[in-house]
Structure 1
Amino acid sequence: MNQTSTTMQSGFSGIFRRALAAALLLAAWAVPGLAQDLPEIRANGVIRHLGVPYARFVDGSGEGFDAEMVRMFARHIGVRYEYVPADWTNVMQDLIGGEIDYRSPVRPAGKRPVRGDIIANGLTILPSREKYIDYSTPTFPSAVWLVARADAKIKPISPSGSLSRDIEATKAKMLEGGTFVMDDSCLDPKLHGLDGKNYRLLRFPAASQNDLVPAVLKREGEMTLLDVPDIIVAMEKWPGQIKVIGPISEEQLMGAGFRKTSPELRQAFEEFLAGIKADGTYMELVRKYYRSAPRYLPKFFRDPSIRR
């Protein structure tokens, strides 16, 4: 083969490779299940919001604090909003399109359908989850507290002025009865140094976080770990029927979750979130869904550096 033929073959090969790459990109845009970043989402004209119904972040019909925020974000980037119902057991897998094992190194094994582009449902920022997804700047504060029935013999702690001492005093209260916990969530006893101690831990199914307070009220357990947004909702839903015993964790933070292959989408959300915090829209949402949140978690709402 002469030099001219070799050059022509090389040229055709380059054209073929570019055409193949373009075809694959078009296919990725056309197939909703494939992983997408902002350009593909804009090309498809829709952003799919994965939401687990939980504590007014998302309700069963796709409304709530996070649902309204993602709707605003959809308008911000010029696409249609679509709510995709999810559950705690599978929501991360639905985002990344792979299996997750928090007890093993990062190896999302096996292929699954990618059902959504963003998780927003009061998703606590945890190191175990950060191995698989990227989070936005915090969208809401939280903390884990110990809760019991109002008529339980267990008495609330007396605040000492030191959060670390109050946490230890609260953990001591757990020796007085069984406590519901939930693995692989913000209520995981491993996160709070509760495993392997003398506590009677009652493992609760991960998909049923909304049923924790009803289980306590039915006397299936004396106490439960619960995060603060859920406590705010529970106190309004069951007034006078539950009481807070004390804190189990330091303040935690929640954020929206993105695939690690969607950096442009995450950046667009960061810009949107900064905008609604600056113009007051964010606090309007807080007052609409969690009017008492600044009283329960004042540090987040008082400190601009955290809110950013």
Structure 2
Amino acid sequence: MKKLISMGLTLAMILSLAACGGSGSKTEENKETKTENTSSKQTDMEYVKEKGTLVVGITDFEPMDYKDENDEWIGFDADMAKAFAESLGVDVEFVEIDWDNKIMELDGKTIDCVWNGMTLTDEVTSSMECSNAYCNNAQVVIVPADKKDQYQDADSISGLTFAVESGSAGEAAISDLGINYTSVKSQADALMEVAAGTSDAAVIDSLMAAAMVGEGTGYENLAYTFGLNSEEYGVGFRKGSDLAKALNDFFSSSYADGSMMECAEKYGVQAALIEQ
């Protein structure tokens, strides 16, 4: 009887130890799997280099991003994006986006960055990993040239109907004034609305206005009057992206060697360039 009890106790102890050992092995296995998953998570830099392409979200916005006679994207932002992609050892691809959906496009990985004269608003900086500011800008009022003298301050434009790019800093500026406006796809479309007479005025970026409005441009019958604010441009990546720091380093080196200024002078934006 004593032998049976002793054998029973011994068997129970063996089973207990086996169970504990099994549980410990599973825990260690889970830890190893978790560590492996964490270490295998790609950074944005690794993701872009692996696929070999930096996809840049843009709109048609001279002098930052626009097409030449060969249907190739050029402009200050476009040329700088090409140079940055080259520094990473990857190709560049430009994708025209709906500006109002820029954050969704970025998070959905249909693009890798937004590089298109983007104002560093609170919404942008809270939703994206942004580069340092690289250009100064302002939102300016565009009206027919023969009416320019009538509209020189905020009070004088209160009764006008405006065309503004949807989701843009221009839309925010005119909305803050409580003025009626129509949202359009791009700033270029906003200019077309005024030129066609379907809107009284538009609000666009000052850098675009300098390149596209007035004597010697495609909109000689339009003029820009006064600015509604002052702002700065930056490039946006996915939140937490290591590409933002890489671009800041690229901006610093290209400013130091003069290539950034050379590019700015090519497109007439040198006065707006911010020292890096």
TM-score, normalised on structure 2? 0.81
- 1:173 and 2:180 equivalent? no
Q: 1:164 — aligned with what?
A: none
Q: Once the 2 structures are TM-superposed, how far is the Cα of residue 202 of structure 1 from its aligned partner? A: 2.4
Aligned partners of 2:197 and 2:48: how far apart in 1? 47
What is the RMSD of the two structures over their aligned residues, measured on CA atoms? 2.5
Q: 2:62 — aligned with what?
A: 55
Aligned partners of 1:4 and 1:226: how far apart in 2? 69
Q: 1:161 — aligned with what?
A: none
Aligned partners of 1:213 and 1:59: how far apart in 2? 15
The 5-angstrom pairing of residues 192-207 of structure 1 reads: 193-195=176-178, 199=179, 201-205=180-184, 207=185
The 1:209/1:46 distance shift into structure 2, 3 A limit, reads same
Q: Once the 2 structures are TM-superposed, how far is the Cα of residue 7 of structure 1 from its aligned partner? A: 4.0
Q: Once the 2 structures are TM-superposed, how far is the Cα of residue 87 of structure 1 from its aligned partner? A: 2.3
- 1:41 and 2:48 equivalent? yes
SS in 2 for 1:187: helix
Contact 2:48–2:54 under 8 Å retained in 1: yes
- 1:285 and 2:257 equivalent? no
- 1:255 and 2:250 equivalent? no
Contact 1:51–1:62 under 8 Å retained in 2: no
The 5-angstrom pairing of residues 25-174 of structure 1 reads: 25=41, 37-60=44-67, 61-97=72-108, 114-152=109-147, 154-155=149-150, 157=152, 170-174=153-157
Instruction: Flag the structure with higher strand content.
Output: 2
**Which amino acid letter does the alignment assign opposite residue 264 of structure 2?**
V
Contact 1:71–1:81 under 8 Å retained in 2: yes
Q: Which runs of 5+ in 2 are unaligned?
A: 1-15
SS in 1 for 2:169: coil
**Higher gyration radius (CA):** 2
Aligned partners of 2:100 and 2:150: how far apart in 1? 33
The 1:154/1:94 distance shift into structure 2, 3 A limit, reads same
Q: Once the 2 structures are TM-superposed, how far is the Cα of residue 252 of structure 1 from its aligned partner? A: 0.9
Q: 2:203 — aligned with what?
A: 225
TM-score, normalised on structure 1? 0.73
Q: 1:245 — aligned with what?
A: 225
Cα displacement string for residues 137-180 of structure 1 (whole angstroms, at most 9, x for unaligned residues): 112221011121112274354xxxxxxxxxxxx10220463333
Contact 2:163–2:203 under 8 Å retained in 1: yes
**Which amino acid letter does the alignment assign opposite residue 128 of structure 1?**
E
Aligned partners of 1:136 and 1:212: how far apart in 2? 28
Contact 2:56–2:112 under 8 Å retained in 1: yes
Contact 1:192–1:248 under 8 Å retained in 2: no
Q: Which runs of 5+ in 1 are unaligned?
A: 30-35, 98-113, 158-169, 295-299
Aligned partners of 1:181 and 1:11: how far apart in 2? 59
SS in 1 for 2:150: coil
**Which amino acid letter does the alignment assign opposite residue 244 of structure 1?**
Y
Q: 2:28 — aligned with what?
A: 11
Contact 2:132–2:248 under 8 Å retained in 1: yes
- 1:184 and 2:163 equivalent? no
Q: Once the 2 structures are TM-superposed, how far is the Cα of residue 71 of structure 1 from its aligned partner? A: 1.2
Aligned partners of 1:144 and 1:44: how far apart in 2? 37
Contact 1:144–1:226 under 8 Å retained in 2: yes
The 1:253/1:19 distance shift into structure 2, 3 A limit, reads closer
Q: Once the 2 structures are TM-superposed, how far is the Cα of residue 129 of structure 1 from its aligned partner? A: 2.0
Contact 1:154–1:176 under 8 Å retained in 2: no
**Which amino acid letter does the alignment assign opposite residue 92 of structure 1?**
I
**Which amino acid letter does the alignment assign opposite residue 103 of structure 2?**
M
Aligned partners of 1:153 and 1:229: how far apart in 2? 19
SS in 1 for 2:170: coil
Cα displacement string for residues 31-73 of structure 1 (whole angstroms, at most 9, x for unaligned residues): xxxxx51123223332222222212322254332212111111
Contact 1:145–1:248 under 8 Å retained in 2: yes
